[in-house]
Amino acid sequence: MSVIPEDKHRTVTDHGGSLERARGLFPDAPLPWIDLSTGINPHSYPHPPVSATALSRLPEPADAARLAGIAAKAYGAPSPAHVVPAPGTQILLPLVMELVPPGRAAVLSPTYAEHARAAALVGHRVRETADFGDLAAADIAVAVNPNNPDGRIMPRVDLIELARTLGKRGGLLVVDEAFMEVGPAAESLAGEVEGLPVVVLRSFGKFFGLAGVRLGFALAAQATAARLAARLGPWAVSGPALEIGIAALADRGWQAAMRSRLEKESQRLDDLIRNAGLTLCGGAALFRLARHPKAAELFAVLGAHGILVRRFERDAALLRFGLPGDEAAWTRLRVALDLWSGA
């Protein structure tokens, strides 16, 4: 278990997706850039046009309630009263961390860096650990399930046991299920939030390929959900986000077809990565994590071809690849990998 250095607490982490920075690094790269750095679905949900009133009027409370109801069904929460819609899960992180008085926070790592940063910003003493057993000693513990970037799955029974252990001391478990739409749904804790000291976070933009909509959800016991909603205040979710979220979360047919498509495309990505000589070391259907001692060289070759992947400061041998969005992107990725590997 390692303590996060104090100066890292307030540092904004590069999470990928910065095409402006990529253009600066590779000014002669071909256009358009292919962004494989974020793990966001490249096949966005084909939402209906946003109404004029969604832009001109304040959001209606009835629409927010309708979204909560549809989200409860989509995610398996006990009721709409257990769902808190928000303008992206990112804004929820410090609010959730404030549910427990400043104390010991443990984050199962390596994972999404913003959890540790949010805990530190509200006054917790933050530790990162690769040992699941270490989480039980914390006042607030965080597990990302499936994990980003390696796709690790924590069994539901283990998370339930951990939540009960934390609850005996007034603690809280936070489970970030941002990629659960492409994970094993049976491992979700969404249906357990009333009976356990747990907050489940769900992302909208990743699976639906609409990150710019800025929509996310906290699932929690009714009293906790009401507390979080009060902190967000009225009109937390924009009118356009309400309309798009309602349409997308209710479209079960599109969701099922997309899960099947993403699974096939992730297998295609596996073949490209293996054929280039990299070692696959995890991932989910929206991204793959690969290792190679010359990963920095590959990052540069891909960048010169206008392809941005995710690199990691803490381990320079790792790269994360998202899914290409069309055949032209698949071809450019294959050509660049073949050139680098000498195939």
- Measured distance CA(228)–CA(82) in Å, rounded: 11
Per cent of the chain over pLDDT 70 is: 95
pLDDT recorded at residue 314: 87
Structurally, at CATH architecture level, domain 7-43+254-341 sits in: Alpha-Beta Complex (3.90)
Q: For residues 80 and 68, what is the distance between their CA atoms, to the nearest angstrom?
A: 5
Length of the chain equals: 343
Average pLDDT of the residues in 27-37: 96
47 three-state secondary structure: coil
**Ordered alpha helix ranges (H), the chain:** 19-25, 52-56, 61-75, 92-97, 114-121, 156-167, 205-208, 222-232, 239-250, 252-275, 295-304, 327-341
Distance CA 271, CA 323 (A): 12
Query: What's the whole-number mean pLDDT along residues 135-140?
Result: 98
Q: Is the pTM for the entire model greater than 0.85? A: yes
State how far the Cα of 20 lies from the Cα of 190, in Å rounded to an integer: 37
Residue ranges of the domains in the chain?
Answer: 7-43+254-341, 52-250
Q: Which residues, 6+ apart, have CB-to-CB distance to 271 below 8 Å?
A: none
Asked if the model's pLDDT at residue 343 lies above 60, the reply is no
User: Coil, strand or helix: which one is 261?
Assistant: helix
Residues 51-74, mean pLDDT to the nearest whole number? 97
HEC per residue, 151-182 = CCCCCHHHHHHHHHHHHCCCCEEEEECCCHHH
**pLDDT (mean) for 194-219:** 97
Cα(109)–Cα(150) distance, integer angstroms? 10
Instruction: Say if residue 236 is exposed, middle or buried (CB neighbours under 10 Å; 0-12, 13-18, 19+).
Output: middle
Least confident of 5-9, 85-89, 253-257: 5-9
| pLDDT tens per residue, range 225-240 | 999 999 999 999 999 9
- Per-residue pLDDT, averaged over 15-36, amounts to 89
Does residue 4 surpass a pLDDT of 60? no
Identity of the amino acid at 270: D
| CATH ID of 52-250, from 3.40.640.10, 3.20.20.70, 1.10.260.40, 3.40.190.10 | 3.40.640.10
Confidence of residue 47 (pLDDT cuts 50, 70, 90): very high
pLDDT of residue 268: 98
The whole-angstrom separation of Cα 64 and Cα 72 is 12
The alpha carbon torsion through 220, 225, 228, 233 (nearest 10 deg) reads 140
The pLDDT assigned to 12 comes to 40
